[in-house]
Chain A
């Protein structure tokens, strides 16, 4: 099976969900030809070597000043050129913001649909079955894309990166692509990069708060509890987006991934984009809503007002 993987670069490296997909493909499909589509302004040989190591046999590049940052129109156009050139059976991207933007557009241009946010796939005949958690992760839906070409995105955090990759240098080919004014209707202004000043990866205890914290000043009690337990604080994007707490504390798909022994989640609903970054041995939840999806993941849950519960918890722990 010929598979085209949309390669995403972040922080000057191949992004880890993309490496995760490569690992998943290598270990679950036999007789594959893995082709990486690498787009950008200046492409580094280091990235190409890394892709080879992780099993990519051929890298097809497209370079242009317009490809410096992802924009739907330019990336869709360049990817279509690569697709027409490579003629793959399966086109896949990690379901990052960019991946989820790109794949459906490529599907439409190819007159077909796409599977999204899969956490697993299996080979069935000459097709693939995709497993996607739906309804806030209450149910698993298995789907198939019929037709000559299959499009899909994976869910971030779904696959592990191969720690000991043994691949060799890939072949590199290039496609040329040009753009016109119609491709420049959406203008890039800037990327506001979140400053990562605190690394939460190794934290053994995290006390995290969500929108239920209801204001910047209420993070005080979260910090106090974290200090008391010798841990770190964490937050959902709902809190970092409005600067109730520094962006570095964002946990989830677009923030940091954490794997503490203990995660205390107060006023957090449990959106899949947040939970995909949390792998805790023990999860304690404080939420006023018993129906909140996060309760499904909890080992212990108090249904109540965090503003009353947390101060009591702090006093008792002292």
Chain B
């Protein structure tokens, strides 16, 4: 089985905003650059299949400041190989253009069985890329998966649903977006993986390599345009207790609650 996992690299949301220019590459350190969390869940989904069925897992990263770092981590987790797709012209804040690039990448990759992606991407809060890609490729798809199981005809997948969970079956050639459920909790990198990642030569494909005219995927081509991006200032001031022995911390909390006249009972 050949599995393609699309990941993205983002500035970790652990890095707090100190202005609107947080996309400014010079302001973030390498440690701040992480695989989008649900992208990592998708890698885990692929590796589970690799472990149980044997599969070739290719991680593909289109979005990010240093995609190579994200892809090395993917290999260190256990992915078989990786492809970086980078072009200065790309405008990937628009999920429609991102999905177009994904579709072209798949064309160049050629054969594949299963496509996995993360449910969302935090720097745009967008859930759209997986659905858009499925539609462009016209492959059967399930979004927001929480667990998956191989069956004769393909996969049985449980996905998130308001008020419960829904179970569906998809053929093996399918697209599935993976959520942050227990089933998809990503594994740690292994020593063996880290060594493999060190040695791995990760190819870089440009728009031209994909046969994509940059005018079709650049900022001018976007139909989702950004008007502005600004900090959300939460008026709340947090009384933060981050030092002391546990008992002191609790005492400090209770004293402050008393001072503020917060009622602790119903």
Contacts and interface: CB of A to CB of B under 8 A. Distances in A.
Interface of A: 10-11, 15, 69, 71-73, 76, 95-97, 100-105, 107-109, 112-117, 129, 132-147, 185-194, 196, 203-205, 211, 229-231, 237-238, 241-242, 247, 253-255, 261-262, 271-272, 282, 284, 290-291, 293, 295-305, 308-309, 312-313, 316-317
Interface string B232-253: 1010101111100011011101
A305 B250 CA distance: 12
Nearest to B166: A191
A108 B96 contact: yes
B202 interface: no
A97 B241 contact: no
B175 to A, nearest CB: 10
B140 A295 contact: no
B143 A191 contact: no
Interface of B: 13-14, 16-17, 20, 22, 94-97, 99, 122-129, 131-132, 134-136, 140-144, 146, 156, 158-171, 180-182, 222-232, 234, 236, 238-242, 246-247, 249-251, 253-254, 256-257, 262-266
A262 B263 contact: yes
Interface centre among A15, A133, A187, A303 (most CB of B within 10 A): A187
A300 B239 contact: yes
Contacts of B143: 72, 97, 100-101
Q: Classify the secondary structure of A's interface with B.
A: mixed
A113 B96 contact: yes
A316 B250 CA distance: 8
Contacts of B227: 129, 142-144
A45 B156 CA distance: 35
Contacts of A189: 156, 167-169
A313 B158 CA distance: 38
B234 A296 contact: yes
Contacts of A254: 160-164
Contacts of B265: 205, 229-231
B239 A134 contact: no
A221 to B, nearest CB: 14
A5 B168 CA distance: 26
Given A116-B125, A142-B229, 5 more contacts: A95-B127, A103-B128, A107-B132, A109-B135, A300-B241
A116 B127 contact: yes
